[in-house]
Amino acid sequence: MRTLEILWQRVTVGAETCERCGDTGASVRRAAEQLAAELAPRGIEVTLTEKTLPPFAVAESNRVFFNGAAVEDLLGAAVGQNHCQSCCDLLGGQTDCRTLTLAGREYEALPEELLLRAGRKAAEAL
């Protein structure tokens, strides 16, 4: 059986993460379930790994990979950053978090729709 491996990584402090990462986490879990249902008839298993990062790794936080390819690379999105009050509250001090811009729209949290598009594209290569 072929496998579509999903990796979601985010900064945590204790068991807490920022609101953006929390929203992305909910989306990635729903997308993983939907992709598993869609891809099973094609003999593709979907796995989801959630990786916690230390507080100093904010630049790598809120990222999702499908078989090692980042969502931004799969979809041709631009990576940026902006102020994240939730991370400021979580980490203390001023903190900017990753954003993705695609088709003129900036995303602070990754919505299920984008994750599904990226996952389907990655599955095409299997």
Across 13-17, 20-24, 86-90, 116-120, which has the greatest mean pLDDT?
Answer: 116-120
DSSP alpha helix (H) spans, the chain: 19-39, 71-75, 85-91, 112-124
Say whether 111 sits in a helix, a strand or coil: coil
Give residue 88's pLDDT: 83
Give residue 39's pLDDT: 98
Q: What is the pTM of this model?
A: 0.94
For the chain, give percent helix, strand, coil, nearest 5.
45, 35, 20
Give residue 87's pLDDT: 82
Provide the residue type at 6 as one letter.
I
Statement: residue 14 has pLDDT above 90: no
> Are 18 and 86 contacting, i.e. CB atoms less than 8 angstroms apart?
yes
For residues 88 and 110, give the distance between their C-alpha atoms in angstroms, rounded to a whole number.
Answer: 19
> Are 88 and 19 contacting, i.e. CB atoms less than 8 angstroms apart?
no
Give residue 104's pLDDT: 96
Fold classified for 2-124: Glutaredoxin (3.40.30)
Would you kindly state where each structural domain of the chain is located, as residue ranges?
2-124
Positive or negative, the CA dihedral 60, 121, 118, 11 is negative
